């Protein structure tokens, strides 16, 4: 028998986390504080194969026995890639008469206010597969026009002629009264329409017609894709002898069972990045800090986020593939700057980096897999930060001469620069992009990065972190011992989470406290029921209430935590006071005299898992014994003799002055000349210096 919290029913117990990235698939296993890490090339055409390859590689190394696995969590990019590549199921939409074109109209806002030629993303459902039914529910849930059954029957006949795999149903104000949506669903099912069906009152029961309809259509389009992938992966890990139930990471920073992920794939769009932020928050808390910026730089992109008081920031207005997705997601800002990002010269003769990436195949030139376009990783090798003799894994053979020749041919010669100057330029351009991204999640959110730490991870993050900390004047940078696979480790540190919400738009002074209490009670029952299916005891379930509030006339709202206990008029008055305070912090001003509106009622049910120990045995000895070599490394265009350390042999509680480089199995840490690095007993590196 296996347990969701990872507690063994008897004997040894292993927890396994697998994160699929654009370049590598990372597998982390842990038991009794013993950590084992594997990186294997991702297989974009069949992501589950990369997962199985990693599991098998771990088992060949004797890392774990499949029969002893009691917890298996997975971070997936399947839904994300399907959106970015528009490789989803043929989908139909059923909506209220008069609202057929909501998906096509979208929003008036443009990404660039001065770009008059901006093109809106193609609607997920083409117009010829959008069907209308006569019905009308008002903003308080009262039925103005009953559902016209003849219209529904006509939809049934139309769907029988179409080859669709999925149907989205999004009717007006269904978040106040979902009965009409359920009636349409029941009629389709009784008529034998063989499709998966998504209801807006289930997927996103909140205001804003475009966002709600879009989320429902997107969920419907992704359901067959995710159902196929998760089903196949579940079978394959079972064939490998792993009996633990498959858990999937959600965008909100919590894991959930595979069945829910198959039903609600829209909740997994930021699965991998969310796991990384959770892992970073945990590492930061162990180091004694609760407020950090996180930076996850992998092979294809860089994801940055903000953690305050130990909790990742969560938003409901993020975009994925130009589509605004209204479900709760860890507030991750992504840019096309990764180790595999390709450097190129634009039409104006300027050096650019990304967003195009060499990916896993063929990869950077130095991977020796046929890549012939210079990347950020190639530039790092030219500048001496990466050693060709200690490069990632045994199946990668770096050829420095080929790298130099290709950079000279494609970039340096046309720019009139040396190869070294060009490599430094590549890093400068990439770092500038990441600096802007970090400012987006900090300065633009009302936070000063100088008041935060920086947790850098991903295969490439520790290579760039020290330079970014210098520029942003961040006092402390933390590099976890498993920086290259922190997203996979985060999968083993994340609680189970189930979010519930419903919009109830009305002036706060008109809100009926008993109605809010009944709504919270219904959400609590739903949350407990969902999490208890995963084997969690009642005492391990926490419930977090909140209300989304705004000033009357505003377009966007702020989420305000609500304490446990009976909802009373005093509860709502206190919520309004906290809203004013939060508004002043977020936007720099508040208007306590203005009326406040309730927008959405929310509840988060959190199932607490047993957090595995990450304690490491501190090595003893002389730090100099960990020095592999000394070689020139270029910093800001100037070469300096630099000590190269084997990170695994550096004793705990050791301080190393820069310049230095610490090479690990899955990441390399750069300590700049003006910095020093301190290793704690867990193996976390803390970088500090003159900012």
Of 68, 74, 65, give the one whose Cα is nearest residue 2.
68
**Confidence class for position 356, pLDDT limits 50, 70, 90:** confident
- CATH class assigned to 14-83+227-268: alpha beta
Higher local confidence (pLDDT), 3 or 227: 227
Average pLDDT, the chain: 89
Higher local confidence (pLDDT), 539 or 691: 539
Percent residues over pLDDT 90 in the chain: 63
Q: How much is the pLDDT for 129?
A: 96
Domains of the chain: which residue ranges?
A: 14-83+227-268, 86-222, 496-607, 623-689
Buried b (16+ CB within 10 A) or exposed e, 488-516: bbbbbbbbbbbbbbbbbbeebeebeeeeb
On the question of pLDDT at 667 being above 60, the answer is yes
CB 78 within 8 A of CB 47: yes
- Alpha-carbon distance of 20 to 248, in angstroms, equals 12
- Alpha-carbon distance of 647 to 482, in angstroms, equals 11
Q: How much is the pLDDT for 5?
A: 44
Q: Would you say domain 496-607 falls under CATH 2.60.120?
A: no
Q: How much is the pLDDT for 533?
A: 84
Q: How much is the pLDDT for 32?
A: 75
Q: How much is the pLDDT for 11?
A: 47
Hey, is 356 helix, strand or coil? Answer: strand
Crossing angle of helices 78-85 and 209-239, rounded to 10°: 130
Q: Which tens digits make up the pLDDT trace of 99-125?
A: 999 999 988 777 677 877 777 888 999
DSSP assignments along 294-346, one per residue: EEEE-SS-EEEEEEETTEE-EES-EEETTEEE-S-EE--EEES-STTEEEEE-
On the question of pLDDT at 657 being above 90, the answer is yes
Q: How much is the pLDDT for 618?
A: 62
What pTM, to 2 d.p., does this model score? 0.86
Lowest pLDDT segment from 48-62, 160-174, 199-213, 234-248: 48-62
Q: How far is CA 390 from CA 387, 479, 499, 649, 664, in A?
A: 5, 19, 45, 15, 9
| Interacting residues of 601 by C-beta distance below 8 A, sequence separation 6+ | 501, 502, 503, 504, 516, 519, 520, 523, 547, 548
On the question of pLDDT at 391 being above 70, the answer is no
**Confidence class for position 410, pLDDT limits 50, 70, 90:** very high
Q: Which tens digits make up the pLDDT trace of 291-309?
A: 999 999 988 888 999 999 9
Lowest pLDDT segment from 20-34, 398-412, 470-484, 667-681: 20-34
Averaged over 221-249, what is the pLDDT? 94
Crossing angle of helices 400-407 and 419-441, rounded to 10°: 80
Dihedral of the CA atoms 392, 307, 333, 42 (nearest 10)? 30
DSSP assignments along 398-460, one per residue: --HHHHHHHHIIIIIHHHT--HHHHHHHHHHHHHHHHHHHHHHHTGGGT--GGGSEEEEESSS
Averaged over 49-74, what is the pLDDT? 87
Averaged over 566-570, what is the pLDDT? 94
Higher local confidence (pLDDT), 317 or 262: 262
Averaged over 135-153, what is the pLDDT? 96
């Amino acid at each position: 028998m296996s347990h969701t919290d990872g507690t063994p029913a008897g004997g040894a117990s292993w927890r396994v986390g697998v994160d699929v990235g654009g370049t590598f698939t990372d597998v982390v296993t842990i038991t009794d504080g013993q950590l084992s890490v594997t990186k294997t090339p991702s297989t974009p055409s069949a992501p589950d194969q990369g997962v199985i390859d990693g599991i098998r590689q771990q088992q060949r190394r004797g890392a774990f026995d499949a029969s002893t696995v009691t917890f298996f969590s997975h971070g997936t990019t399947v839904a994300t890639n399907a959106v970015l590549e528009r490789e989803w199921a043929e989908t139909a939409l059923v909506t209220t008469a008069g609202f057929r074109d909501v998906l096509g109209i979208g929003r008036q806002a443009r990404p660039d206010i001065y770009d008059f030629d901006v093109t809106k993303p193609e609607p997920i459902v083409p117009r010829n597969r959008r069907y209308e039914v006569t019905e009308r529910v008002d903003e308080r849930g009262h039925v103005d026009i009953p559902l016209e059954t003849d219209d529904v029957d006509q939809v049934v006949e139309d769907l029988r002629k179409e080859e669709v795999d999925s149907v989205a149903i999004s009717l007006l104000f269904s978040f106040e009264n979902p009965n009409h949506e359920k009636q349409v669903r029941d009629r389709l099912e009784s008529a034998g329409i063989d499709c998966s069906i998504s209801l807006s009152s289930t997927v996103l029961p909140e205001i804003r017609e475009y966002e709600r309809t879009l989320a429902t259509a997107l969920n419907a389009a992704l359901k067959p894709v995710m159902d196929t992938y998760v089903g196949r992966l579940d079978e394959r890990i079972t064939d490998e002898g792993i009996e633990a139930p498959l858990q999937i990471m959600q965008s909100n920073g919590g894991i959930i069972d595979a069945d829910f992920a198959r039903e609600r794939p829209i909740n997994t769009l930021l699965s991998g990045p969310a796991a990384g932020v959770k892992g970073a928050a945990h590492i930061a808390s162990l180091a004694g800090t609760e407020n950090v910026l996180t930076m996850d730089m992998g092979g294809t992109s860089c994801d940055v986020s903000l953690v305050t008081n130990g909790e990742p920031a969560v938003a409901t207005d993020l975009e994925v593939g130009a589509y605004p997705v209204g479900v709760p997601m860890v507030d991750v800002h992504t840019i096309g700057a990764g180790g595999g990002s390709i450097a190129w010269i634009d039409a104006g003769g300027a050096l650019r980096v990304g967003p195009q990436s060499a990916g896993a195949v063929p990869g950077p030139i130095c991977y020796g897999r046929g890549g012939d376009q210079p990347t950020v990783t190639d530039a790092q090798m030219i500048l001496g930060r990466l050693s060709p003799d200690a490069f990632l894994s045994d199946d990668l053979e770096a050829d420095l001469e080929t790298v130099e020749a290709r950079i000279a041919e494609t970039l340096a010669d046309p720019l009139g620069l040396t190869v070294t100057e060009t490599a430094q330029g590549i890093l400068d351009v990439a770092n500038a992009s990441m600096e802007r991204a970090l400012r987006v999640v900090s300065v633009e959110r009302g936070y000063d990065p100088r008041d935060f730490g920086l947790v850098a991870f991903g295969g490439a993050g520790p290579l760039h972190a020290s330079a970014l900390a210098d520029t942003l004047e961040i006092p402390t940078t933390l590099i976890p011992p498993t920086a290259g696979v922190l997203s996979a480790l985060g999968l083993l540190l994340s609680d189970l989470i189930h979010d519930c919400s419903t919009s109830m738009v009305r002036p706060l002074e008109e809100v009926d406290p008993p109605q809010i209490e009944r709504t919270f009670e219904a959400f609590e029952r739903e949350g407990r029921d969902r999490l208890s299916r995963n084997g969690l005891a009642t005492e391990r379930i926490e419930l977090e209430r909140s209300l989304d509030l705004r000033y009357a006339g505003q377009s966007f709202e702020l989420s305000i935590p609500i304490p446990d206990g009976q909802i009373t008029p005093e509860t709502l008055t206190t919520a309004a006071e906290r809203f004013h305070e939060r508004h002043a912090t977020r936007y720099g001003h508040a208007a306590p005299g203005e009326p406040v509106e309730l927008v959405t009622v929310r509840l988060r049910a959190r199932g607490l898992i047993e957090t595995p120990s990450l304690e490491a045995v501190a090595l003893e000895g002389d730090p100099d014994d960990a020095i592999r070599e000394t070689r020139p490394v270029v910093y800001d265009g100037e070469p300096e003799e630099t000590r190269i350390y084997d990170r695994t042999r550096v004793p705990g509680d050791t301080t190393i002055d820069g310049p230095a480089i610490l090479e690990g199995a899955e990441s390399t840490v750069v300590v700049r000349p003006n910095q020093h690095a301190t290793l704690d007993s867990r193996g976390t590196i803390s970088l500090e210096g003159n900012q």
